[in-house]
Amino acid sequence: MPEEYKANPDDRSDNAEKLQEMVQNTIDNFNEAKETAELSNEKDRAAIEAKNQRRLESIDSLKSEIKDES
């Protein structure tokens, strides 16, 4: 017999907190990558800088979501 699946309740009470934690983690990763880029060759540095640009865009999006959740 197949098991019946029950959807979990949609609890969004801590979304803003989780999003803020994601922002902080992304900032930490950005800073660590920036330090690593200083010691990297030109090719790796370009890749790190591109990824950090995407991180900045993600941070902006996450902050916008935090405002929506608040």
Over residues 4-38, the pLDDT tens digits come to 888 778 777 889 999 999 999 999 999 999 999 99
Q: What is the CA radius of gyration of the chain?
A: 18
Residues in the chain: 70
DSSP state of 2: P
Looking at per-residue confidence, does 27 or 2 come out higher? 27
pLDDT single digits (tens) 44-57: 999 999 999 999 99
**Of the candidate ranges 30-34, 41-45, 64-68, the one whose mean pLDDT is the lowest:** 64-68
Helix (H) / strand (E) containing 68: helix 42-69
Q: What is the pLDDT of residue 1?
A: 54
Dihedral, CA atoms, 19, 54, 57, 67, nearest 10 degrees?
A: -10
